Amino acid sequence: MRGDDAQSGAAFELIAFVTRHLACHSCGTGYSAEDVQVTQHHHEQWLLRATCPTCTAQRIIEAYDGPPYEHLESPDAIPPLPPLTAQDVREWRVFLRQFTGDLKALLSVS
């Protein structure tokens, strides 16, 4: 892993989040840390690739050090976003099924 300790810490936390909250779309198997790799890190944006240990299906996970809207100067500056897809809904269903926190935990920045 490249970068300084803070970057390594952020990567560790993101990978831990994936292993705790996400599972394979194809077969539902959970990920362990060695199944998740950081493929790209640019400013606050991270891209991770998770490979299912059971069926080898891969998924790309986009993550941010903090909610992206925190970096916008005003609500008017929110860029147009693509409509939610069926895959987005499936990912959230899997995530929320396993999530044990409340809305504050869901939206908080650690």
* Distance in Å, CB of 16 to Zn ion, minimum: 20
List contacts with Zn ion (CB under 5 A): 24, 26-27, 29, 52, 54-55, 57
* Distance in Å, CB of 82 to Zn ion, minimum: 25
* Distance in Å, CB of 94 to Zn ion, minimum: 12
> Residue 10 or residue 61: which is nearer to Zn ion going by CB?
61
Q: How far apart are CA 24 and CA 91, in angstroms?
A: 9
> Residue 14 or residue 30: which is nearer to Zn ion going by CB?
30
29-55 per-residue burial string, b: 16 or more CB within 10 A, e: under 16: ebbeeebbebeebeeeebebebebeee
* Distance in Å, CB of 27 to Zn ion, minimum: 3
Q: How far apart are CA 110 and CA 23, in angstroms?
A: 23
Q: Residue 38 is encoded by which pair of tokens?
A: 């950081």
> Residue 49 or residue 68: which is nearer to Zn ion going by CB?
49
> Residue 57 or residue 96: which is nearer to Zn ion going by CB?
57
**Which distant-in-sequence residues (6+ apart) come within 8 Å of 108 by Cβ?**
none
